Amino acid sequence: MSARRVRFPVAVALVVALVWLSGVSAQNEPAGIKGWQKGKGWGWIWGKDDEVGALNAMNADSVRAALSLAKAGRVYDLGVTYSRNSFKWPGHSPGEIITFRSPEGVKRQGDHDFAVSATNSSGTAWHSCALFMNDNVATQIDGLGHVTIGKDNHWYNGYSENDWGGNWGVRKCDATTIPPIVARGVMLDIAGVKKVEQLPSGYPITPADVDAALAAQKVRLQPGDVVILRTGTLRHWGKDGSDHPTIKTYDSAGITLETAKYLVEEFGAMLIASDTSGLEVAPALPGQDSFIPVHKYLLVEQGVHIGEFHNCEELARDKVYEFCYMATVNKIAGATAGFTLRPIAIK
């Protein structure tokens, strides 16, 4: 037997072993993800006029790879129900939903001729509502114009308040610039790994917690992933998040700045979400230069969008950790986030 014929099977065996040890098949490797650098992350790399950030990394190949994960056809609703009673982060205004037109009002007021005309013998009418709410409530994705830093109050890519702010919303990096998202999603069930119903109030999720979840769930992160961390907070949302004291108690668990950097710079997370109103641990750990250092790092410095109040309870129940994540946001000009969303995970 020649030396050449001996080496070939050994080489094949080594490749097979490496693939097996990785826990991820070759077909699930990232498909042509561009822009991310290990140890650095994303950053302001997409040009001086960019308003999209790390979501630029999505492409036709990555979308097809994500869609290929939807094998069973099981759809998980990641959105929470919002009402005027729902819990919110204290920095945002409450919401109100008011009936603007009702069947009785339409017919009584007679200010719509077509509703009271002879051609409406069936008595057709309608409901419509006026919504008065914040653009950062319920299930949401923070836009890159949401957080500002510095004396010039600039946000991602150097857009500043003097140049691009105003009384009718931001004019750069508003919600309309968040593209439809179709990507591989990974849910890290931190509460589940720790065998608790929910993480304690103010619990800081560390890189070690991320590693423990990856190992327990036998999943690997890839550049271009949407990473969702479960704290268990939304176990208490109920019908519409009206139990404010309980939700507030657990809503403060979240990732640290070190963990945000770990997910972005070591793994290439393109969007990071959680089941809380703020993603990051609160209050911020000592030694930070911001009261929300994770938001500052992700939104301003890295151009990585943040997902909040993503409901992972059904995913955790079924032990679904890898899936096709899909989300589209409200295209409301000037809004600083896509809010009251209904993203889905398809397995």
The secondary structure of 62-80 as a DSSP string is: HHHHHHTT--S--EEE---
Closest CA to 194 of 282, 253, 281, 264: 253
| Intra-chain end-to-end CA distance of the chain, in Å | 48
Lowest model confidence (mean pLDDT) among 40-54, 75-89, 104-118, 142-156: 104-118
- Residue 154: its pLDDT value, please? 98
Distances (CA, A) of 272 to 162, 217, 307: 29, 18, 6
Token pair of 5 as six digits: 């014929």
Q: How confident is the model at residue 221 (pLDDT cuts 50, 70, 90)?
A: very high
Give the residue carrying structure tokens 């319920």.
Answer: 138
- Classify strands 140-142 and 305-308 as parallel, antiparallel or unpaired: antiparallel
Q: What is the pLDDT of residue 19?
A: 39
Using CA atoms, how far apart are residues 89 and 241, in angstroms rounded to an integer?
12
- Exposed/middle/buried for 167, CB within 10 Å: 0-12, 13-18, 19+? exposed
- To the nearest whole number, what is the mean pLDDT of the chain? 90
> For the residues 325-343, what does the mean pLDDT come to?
96
pLDDT in tens, 17-45: 443 344 443 334 455 789 999 999 999 99
Burial class for 285, CB neighbours closer than 10 Å (0-12, 13-18, 19+): middle
Q: E strands of the chain, at which residues?
A: 75-77, 96-101, 128-132, 140-142, 181-189, 204-205, 226-230, 254-255, 271-274, 305-308, 322-327, 337-338, 344-346
In Å, what is the CA distance from 219 to each residue of 21, 187, 196, 260, 275? 11, 10, 21, 18, 20
Share of the chain above pLDDT 70, in %: 90
Rounded to two decimals, the pTM is 0.89
Looking at residue 53, the DSSP 8-state letter turns out to be G
Contact between 326 and 76 (Cβ < 8 Å): no
What percentage of the chain carries pLDDT values higher than 90?
80
Query: How is 5-30 classified by DSSP, letter by letter?
Result: HHHHHHHHHHHHHHHHHHTS-GGGS-
Domains with residue ranges and CATH for the chain: 37-89+134-346 (3.50.30.50), 96-132 (no CATH)
